[in-house]
Amino acid sequence: MNLFSLQRKETFRAPQWETKLSIKIIMTLVMLYFLVAFILGASFIYPGLNKAVQTKEPVEIFNSILLYFFFFEFILRFFLQQLPVTNIQSLILLPIKKSRIINHVLLRSVFSGFNLFPFIIYLPFAISMYRDDYLLTQVVAWWGALALFTFCINFLIYIINKDNRFFVGLLVLLAATIALDKYTAINLGEMAGTVFDQVVETPVLFGAFLIPAFLSYGMVYLFLKRGLYMDAGLKQKKTQVRGGEFAFLNVFGEDALFLKNDLRMIIRNVRPRQIVVMSFLFLFYGLVFFPQEIYRNQPYILAFAGLFVTGGFTLTFGNYVPAWDSSYYKLLMTQNLSYKKYLLSKWNLMAFVTAFCALLSTPYLYFGWDVLAIIIAGSFFNIGLGTWITLFGGLLNKSPMKLNVKAKAFENTQAFSLNQFLLTIPKMILPAVLYGVPAQFVSPTAGIVSLAGAGVLGLVFRQQMAEKITQLYIKQKHETIEAFNK
Amino acid sequence: MINVNNLSKKYGSTTVLSLSSLTITKGEHFGLVGNNGAGKTTLFSLILDLIQASSGEVTINSINVAKSEAWKNQTAAFVDDNFLIDYLTPEEYFDFVAQLRKIDPKTLKDFLVRFEEFFNGEVLNQKKYIRDFSKGNQKKIGLAAAFIGQPELIILDEPFANLDPSSQIRLKNFLSSDENKGTTLLVSSHDLNHVTDVCDRIVLLEKGEVIKDTPKSAATLKELETYFSEQ
């Protein structure tokens, strides 16, 4: 089908594919690694549940948490799934039937990375079921029902994506489900689970899942058909102007100019918003490690965790400096502004947000003073050195950034470079060593002093650091402009 | 004002621009014409140090553009969309540029008043981001911003393209007006009429080389038309 060949060309001729073959191979390997890791992880669910809970069948337990998984999937897709609608503008006038265009778009969406869920999570589970003592028909019906339901979500997200009210509704529903489960005898998760239990018991019921699948397809088909005019569904929505003067920033004097611009950029564009939201999730990273006793005596892991809690913004936002400004880089390069001032403004923003995160992380005091001390020392490191390492990494990042386009999940290669990926290694190992070595051989306090001290040093030599990095940026100026122009 | 010496730009083995010497004096209105691929944008990009020359150099007020950044405080340009910050409103964008050029808000306001006719009531106070404006209005925004703070040197690539006829005429009048007399203006255009109206020197490029370099006279337009129709 030649609409698909257009699609293939679009994907493989995108700038990020025009990299070296070696990088392509490594990226493919990285993706394969994650895929295999997921599948392996998922294949341990069944035996794990079997061992942990004796009173219930693993399938029943799994089914009873499916509802939450669906909520999670909905939310993830809402934020990350980019609908393949925008590219059909150029097709409207060609002699192609509208129905064909819509069917193509919908079919295409089936190949989204999100629809791998049934394969990487449900399939390993289903295989475990079969290896236990379920009949093939039972397993196939169960898996098929889940796969069909995943496709329902895939189609419904088209409608939800256009309208924030649906999303709010979804959140309310989720909150209600949790509340009902907690405070009343009604457990919607288990109720939804019994539906899938029934499918296992009576495989023929699988057929019932064809109905919502077809219905959702039909609904979205009609929805898109109505929207298939230039001024309706396709055009990106015109938004009300958000965030204005930020007059309070004027206390920063000349720096305020860039700070304001960066804030406006974050508030008004999809991609940076997405990334900033993600960066705040890092605040909760510590919850994975600090509550567990086994990590309490592992200084390297503690340093890691402490660093991530406040380092989210530097890691996620900072990684894309200067790509954030790629769409108007030529303007910046011809205006009366010094490169150093530009970079320092980015530094200020990162330092400010990291300090703010440090403030927000004070509830970690719950786990003890030592934990909070690691986090605060980590924030010193992030501000003093992490920021500079990140800005150095930006030098290696030569992919333009489309600000107002959502990242495609599982192909988040926009403005991604392998070099930069490799640079995250020292960014994590350095602090682990700075804290871990003194903590292991002297005392935890020595580790904290060493980690925070390194950060303070970076702060003291801020001007010199800025000077050095600026030199490097200027050296790469033409290369960067050319790359951003693509 | 601008000196170009033995400037060349090569991509692989193809030479896209090769100029042995070119001098543009202060206050000159310099028009650049030529078919696609003649090297107009390449020349402008080299002057603005947006691309690296394969050989030779460009100086603005005796400052080598590739070696120092000091030329930036007297230069402004609008070459393409990459000069617009599309998530800002026009007001915010003008304000940003004005602050970079150290122009106070009052002066900026007075300056923008003169563009009222050119903007045709469609640019200011619209409460819209630049990305939501039409191509023509985006162009107007970029053009106006280039003039903020009266830079000595202004470089405009295809300023007339995408503008409606009235706006083209208004732009032409503005570029030729007294207030831009002392400004060194570099304009490229495919519209021979406009470029000969606005400029007092016309340079014709073809395949990266200067074919014709003449002060404008009554006969210039005719000559250019003859040249291009024979191509």
B157 touches chain A (CB under 8 A): no
**A251 and A214 part of one domain:** no
- Per the listing, tokens 């000595």 go with B152
- Strands (E) in chain B, as ranges, are 2-11, 14-24, 29-33, 55-60, 63-64, 75-78, 153-157, 184-188, 201-206, 209-215
Residue A450 in any domain: the answer is: yes
Residue B198 has pLDDT above 70, yes or no: yes
**A469 and A336 part of one domain:** yes
pLDDT digits (tens, 9 = 90+) for B146-162: 999 999 999 999 999 98
A387: distance to nearest CA of chain B, Å?
25
**A162 and A275 part of one domain:** no
**A391 and A300 part of one domain:** yes
Domain count, chain A: 2
Helix (H, G, I), strand (E, B) or coil at B209: strand
pLDDT-derived band of residue A125, with 50, 70 and 90 as boundaries? confident
- Which residue type occupies B119? F
**A430 and A290 part of one domain:** yes
pLDDT digits (tens, 9 = 90+) for A314-354: 888 888 888 899 999 999 988 888 788 888 889 988 998 99
d(C-alpha B161, C-alpha A96), whole Å: 32
Which is more confident, A223 or B149? B149
DSSP letters spanning A295-341: GTT-HHHHHHHHHHHHHHHHHHTGGGTTGGGGGGHHHHHHSS--HHH
Q: What is the pLDDT of residue A102?
A: 80
pLDDT-derived band of residue A302, with 50, 70 and 90 as boundaries? confident
Omega of the bond prior to A322 within 30 degrees of 0, cis? yes
Q: To 10 degrees, the CA torsion angle through A167, A171, A173, A175? A: 180
**A304 and A166 part of one domain:** no
* Mean pLDDT value of segment A380-407: 82
Q: What is the pLDDT of residue A133?
A: 82
Residue A478 in any domain: the answer is: yes
Residue A117 has pLDDT above 80, yes or no: no
Q: What is the pLDDT of residue A11?
A: 63
Q: Which of A200, A234, A268 lies at the terminal end of a domain, its last residue?
A: A234
DSSP letter at B23?
E
Q: Answer yes or no: do B101 and A328 touch at CB < 8 A.
A: no
**A170 and A298 part of one domain:** no
Residue B93 has pLDDT above 90, yes or no: yes
**Closest CB from A330, A404, A477 relative to B82:** A330
By residue range, what is the domain housing residue A430? 247-484
The pLDDT > 70 percentage for chain A reads 84
Residue A242 in any domain: the answer is: no
Q: Which of A452, A343, A457 is nearest to A393 (CA)?
A: A343
Q: Answer yes or no: do A264 and B76 touch at CB < 8 A.
A: no
- Which residue type occupies A53? V
Q: What is the pLDDT of residue B219?
A: 87
User: Residues 6 or more apart from A155 whose CB is under 8 A from it?
Assistant: A106, A109, A216, A217, A219, A220
Residue A255 has pLDDT above 80, yes or no: no
| Cα three-residue angle A389-A282-A298, rounded to 5 degrees | 80
Q: Which of A234, A256, A282 lies at the terminal end of a domain, its last residue?
A: A234
User: Residues 6 or more apart from A292 whose CB is under 8 A from it?
Assistant: none
Q: What is the pLDDT of residue B157?
A: 94
Residue A198 has pLDDT above 90, yes or no: no
pLDDT-derived band of residue A37, with 50, 70 and 90 as boundaries? confident
A353: distance to nearest CA of chain B, Å?
22
Q: Answer yes or no: do A241 and B128 touch at CB < 8 A.
A: yes
* Mean pLDDT value of segment B3-9: 93
Q: Which of A234, A266, A297 lies at the terminal end of a domain, its last residue?
A: A234
Lowest mean pLDDT across A71-80, B61-70, B132-141, B182-191? A71-80
Asked whether the ipTM of the predicted complex exceeds the cut of 0.85, the reply is yes
Q: Which of A246, A334, A480 is the best mutation test for B, with the most CBs of B within 10 A?
A: A334
* Mean pLDDT value of segment A400-428: 61
**A256 and A352 part of one domain:** yes
* Mean pLDDT value of segment A391-412: 69
**A200 and A311 part of one domain:** no
B80 touches chain A (CB under 8 A): yes
Residue A239 in any domain: the answer is: no
**A179 and A299 part of one domain:** no
Query: Which chain B residues have a beta carbon less than 8 Å from that of A338?
Result: 69
Residue A241 in any domain: the answer is: no
DSSP letters spanning A216-241: HHHHHHHHHHHH-SIIIIISPPP---
Q: Given 3-state DSSP classes, what are the helix, strand and coil percentages for chain A, each rounded to the nearest 5?
A: 80, 0, 20
What does pLDDT average to over chain A? 80
Structural domains of chain B in order of their starting residue, each with its CATH number: 2-85+146-230 (3.40.50.300)
CA distances for B207 relative to A151, B15, B24, B38, B195, angstroms: 55, 8, 21, 5, 20
**A347 and A405 part of one domain:** yes
d(C-alpha B79, C-alpha B66), whole Å: 18
**A258 and A196 part of one domain:** no
Residue A240 in any domain: the answer is: no
